[in-house]
Amino acid sequence: MIGADYDAQHWFREKNDKFWPGQEFGLEIDQILHQQRSKYQDVLVFKRRKMMSSCLAINSIRIVVPVISLFGSAPTFFIIWFLLRLITFICCPHYIYRRCDDYLYSLYQKFILFFFENWVHAKIYFHGDYQEIIKKKENILFISNHQSSVDWIIANMLAIRQGSLGHIRYILKNELKWIPLYGFYFQQHGCIYVRRNDKGDLERVEKGIRQIKSNGLPVWLVIFPEGTRFNPIKNQDIIERSRQFAKQKGVPPFDHVLYPRTGATVAAINALKDKFDAVYDVTIMYSQTYDKNRQIRTGAASMAEFLQGQTKELHIHVKRIPIDSIPSETNEQISNWLYQRFIIKDKLIKHFYDQNRNNKYVLDIDSDREGIQAQLCLSDTIFSCIFFVLTTCLLLITPQGRSLYWHIYLLGTPMTLLWMHIFPPKNIN
């Protein structure tokens, strides 16, 4: 079995760190044709007569089932939301719709969390003030570093443990509005779309935040101040521009995060400091993002890779900062405060990698205490999973249901995009 020999020679060490249960196996081969090592990957060409179809099938199921379930239920979710919107518009005050919408959003996000926590079985560790923040519900501003398309689900993971899942609103990049049906719904739910390097961004953010304030409901406003993902493999040019920008500002550049864009955070604190109880400063770290042999940082898993199990451990550091303790008399004070928080983030991540070399996963600088492992119970998500799968199946078993389903999917996306273009957010809430 060639797998055991290569483990001993550390030939596949980096890949082994990314393997998930069921994929780390010995492989019987007939002949090695070529082997080569490069900076970012190891290459092995071999000849093998036996097929690997069973292994490939198992690994395919890990990603195919979640993708079909989540995108397949999109028309179902949209129909339920539309009926809710129509009924409450006719006979209920607006705040009733908002509360029902928060519940529906929470129900669907639990469906998503079923796959990203219960299906994947990645170990999730919480560091910092985690035990404090789960004791009571709060209105908060959530700021985080950004490495992966999985990052937005981290807010779900924290919110569900506090009982605040339905209260989440995101500031999202504009490209996400093209997601079929969901892109439209995110705006209806109160999320705010922004374009990178667009001078109108700040105005859109301020309008969206004023709407959130006027709703009068609890809120978790989620912002990724970096604006794009830190990926040392794919985004080296972005990282270099960030470092140069920091130097232009006369401040030391970061090694593990990008220089934060302050506009959205400043607008949020200015508009909602009377509503917010605290800021949750969240630092996210994925295991298998550091090559110990070459001593270089690698990219975090994408959503598809995460669902395939390529992240064994997820580490989330939470710092709760009372809103009253944040200097906010001027925009410059808030900007400087945010920059100082990212200095701390950079140190946290560096400390994490330093400890990781000793086979430890620590995100607290002042303590050697490892994180608290807190897995989400299946009972927290299984009802939502059954509900959306069952309602989608019921919709598809009749000809009329199938016709409605496909009309919603095929016509809904262009119609909702047209709606968003004609009716900006200020006219739909």
DSSP conformation letters of 204-227: HHHHHHHHHHHH-S--EEEE-TT-
Whether the predicted pLDDT of 218 surpasses 50: yes
Asked if residue 239 lies in contact with residue 232, where contact means CB atoms within 8 angstroms, the answer is yes
Looking at residue 77, its pLDDT comes to 96
39 has a pLDDT exceeding 60: no
**80 vs 57, which has greater pLDDT?**
80
Q: What is the pLDDT of residue 320?
A: 96
CA distance 307 to 396: 26
Q: With 70 as the cut, is the pLDDT of residue 241 above it?
A: yes
Residue 426: pLDDT over 60? no
Give the DSSP H/E element, type plus range, for residue 269: helix 263-272
- Token pair, residue 148, equals 């992966």
> Average pLDDT, whole number, for the chain?
83
pLDDT score of 288: 80
Band of residue 82 on the pLDDT scale cut at 50, 70, 90: very high
Distances in Å between the Cα of 4 and the Cα atoms of 10, 11, 13, 241, 250 are 10, 10, 12, 43, 52
Q: How far apart are CA 318 and CA 113, in angstroms?
A: 19
Is it the case that residue 92 has pLDDT exceeding 80?
yes
Look at residue 144 and tell me whether its pLDDT is greater than 70. Answer: yes
Helix axes 151-162, 94-113, angle to 10 degrees: 110
d(C-alpha 409, C-alpha 179), whole Å? 11
Tell me 175's DSSP state: G
Whether residue 68 has pLDDT greater than 80 = yes
- Per-residue pLDDT band for 326 (boundaries 50, 70, 90) equals very high
| Better-predicted residue by pLDDT, 151 or 58 | 151
Ranges 16-25, 138-147, 337-346, 352-361: which has the least confidence: 16-25
Start-to-end CA span in the chain (Å)? 63
pLDDT at position 80 is 96
Q: Tell me what the mean pLDDT of segment 191-219 comes to.
A: 80
Per DSSP, the three-state class of 25 is coil
**Total H helices, total E strands in the chain:** 15, 12
The pLDDT value recorded for residue 393 is: 95
Q: Is the pLDDT of residue 198 over 80?
A: no
> If pLDDT is split at 50, 70 and 90, which confidence band does 365 have?
low
pLDDT of residue 12 exceeding 80: no
| Beta carbons of 39 and 294 less than 8 angstroms apart | yes
- Which pLDDT band, with edges at 50, 70 and 90, does 8 fall under? very low
Handedness of CA 89, 90, 91, 93 (dihedral sign): positive
pLDDT at 295: 73
> What is the DSSP secondary structure assignment for residue 298, as one 8-state letter?
-
Amino acid 9: pLDDT:
37
What's the rounded mean pLDDT across residues 324-351?
Answer: 92
**Residue scoring higher pLDDT (293 or 159):** 159
Distance CA 320, CA 153 (A): 19
CA–CA separation, 154 and 165 (whole Å) = 11
Amino acid making up residue 224: F
Give the model's pLDDT for residue 10: 37
Domains of the chain: 2-50 (2.30.140), 75-383 (3.40.1130)
Residue 312 has pLDDT above 50, yes or no: yes
Cα separation, 65 vs 115, whole angstroms: 9
pLDDT at 1: 37
CA 207 to chain centre: 24
